[in-house]
Chains A and B, each alone.
Chain A
Amino acid sequence: MKPENQELRLIDTAHLIGEVEDYRNKGHRLVNVSCTRAGEEFEISYSFELDLRFENIRIIIPLDADIPSISGIYWGAFIYENEMHDLFGVHVRGMNIDFKGNLIRTTVPYPFRNTSFKGEGPCQDR
């Protein structure tokens, strides 16, 4: 197996749009946008690929902060941004298609926002 080299750069939220535009201009494909709760912050990673080279940029934001949409640059990004809003409650400004919380219909609002289990223990204690 050939292990894939993956680059990950941490950037400031203010530079997000500029960085994403750079990737678009260089011909990269948007592969994924993912959100992870890390303590009292969210890590949001944007993944791109060009000629099998896989690169990621990451912003770290407070739980109640909002971020700019990249759907003006990559049209299809709205699916990831709406998903991030519906599951984590991340507010994304300026999405080209804003479902306003109705893309993924969940019983509990923002179900991934709070982690329910921390640490190890028997099943019944979880």
Chain B
Amino acid sequence: MSRQIVMPFGPQHPVLPEPIHLDLVLEDETVVDVIPSIGYVHRGLETLVEKRQFPEYVYIAERTCGICSFIHGMTYCQGIERVMGLEVPERAHYLRTIWSEYSRLHSHLLWLGLFADSMGFENLFMNAWKHREFVLDVMEETTGGRVIQGSCKVGGVRRDIDQETLKKMERDLKGFEKGLKEMANVFLNDDSVASRLRGVGVLSRNDAYVCGAVGPTGRGSGVPIDARMTGYAAYGELDFSPVVEQDGDCYARCAVRVNELFSSIEIIRQSIDRIPGGEIEVKVKGNPDGEYFSRSEQPRGELVHYVKGNGTKYLARSRIRTPTLTNIPPLVKMLQGCELADVPVIVLSIDPCIGCMER
């Protein structure tokens, strides 16, 4: 056996947009073990439920993540609505679905750009982010915010989208989709991309399941976990199925995200076609008394907001289980046995959102 050394990776590293530290135990160039540690950006957001009334806490929940903030706000609202027995109008459910899918497009394009950058493919990076700009413009036009939308509230949504704008969004999706197809062709068929990603960071289906992998990390290993199948918001009324790949390597996780772009576009189209008219919110009376585990599918995987009310304006507990937290054990499995030079690409392949994970 070769001599083992421990090499620190992070918290600052060119491929890490946010800080996480990994102690890599190496034998020559091979990683034999990994010890992750976090805590650099822990904000204690969950304890703020003691200081913010439950309707105000939506703003805190949204700020858990700067990439999928809308879905955090929606999932929290869903939990409170379930505890209070509120019947949210159908139109609000469809609007939530539309904004959730634009969030997914935004997040996946952001990740695809970063992933291309990590491979040194600068043109592809810029191409992905050019398409992302289109999504951010739609978010800004319809919610008023590019990053933090603030359009979800307990009982519904704050803003409506008029029919003319919805039709324009549907028309614009055609050109957007055409551009994405050209970009997807490079991610899925280019030799240099495939040679960097195929067979790297393999996570078996069994390991994915036992380690608790969610989102594209789990689906890339053939585990068809997708919280949207539970039918929250308007997903129960729409036709779609989880995008699944079988190989479990970095290429498979990348392919899941690329193909989910087109799945999201299809969901948005269906939502625009089927959105009913009517109110966008219901009046909220009283305080939550009870508990609920609210689940949704973030771009990175299943998100859980546990809320527990005690009959006052302040919740007794908010627990936010983000997908990156539960994807850390699978990451440890993927890294065991890999080459040192592959570590950055493998770490990025789970799409780590550390700020989200630390809360």
Residues of A within 8 A of B (CB): 1-4, 6, 29-32, 34-38, 45, 47, 52, 54, 56, 74-80, 83, 86, 97, 99, 102-106, 111-112, 115-120, 123, 126
Contacts and interface: CB of A to CB of B under 8 A. Distances in A.
B278 interface: no
Contacts of B205: none
Interface in B219-272: 225, 229-234, 236
B126 interface: no
Contacts of A126: 50-51
Main secondary structure of the interface of B (DSSP, over half): mixed
Interface string B304-325: 1010100011101101010001
Interface residues of B, number: 47
Contacts of B231: 1-2, 4
B330 to A, nearest CB: 7
Contacts of B330: 76
Interface of B: 35-40, 42, 44, 46-47, 50-51, 82, 88, 93, 209-212, 225, 229-234, 236, 292-293, 295, 302, 304, 306, 308, 312-314, 316-317, 319, 321, 325-326, 328-330, 358
A83 B293 CA distance: 19
A32 B236 contact: no
B293 A104 contact: no
A54 B295 contact: yes
Residue of A79, A99, A104 ringed by the most chain B CB atoms within 10 A: A79
B42 A106 contact: yes
B306 A103 contact: no
Given A32-B326, A76-B210, A80-B325, 18 more contacts: A1-B88, A1-B236, A4-B295, A6-B292, A29-B225, A31-B304, A32-B321, A36-B317, A54-B230, A76-B212, A97-B35, A103-B38, A105-B38, A105-B39, A105-B40, A116-B47, A117-B314, A118-B50
Contacts of A32: 293, 304, 306, 319, 321, 326
Contacts of B39: 86, 103-106
B68 to A, nearest CB: 18
A83 B322 CA distance: 13
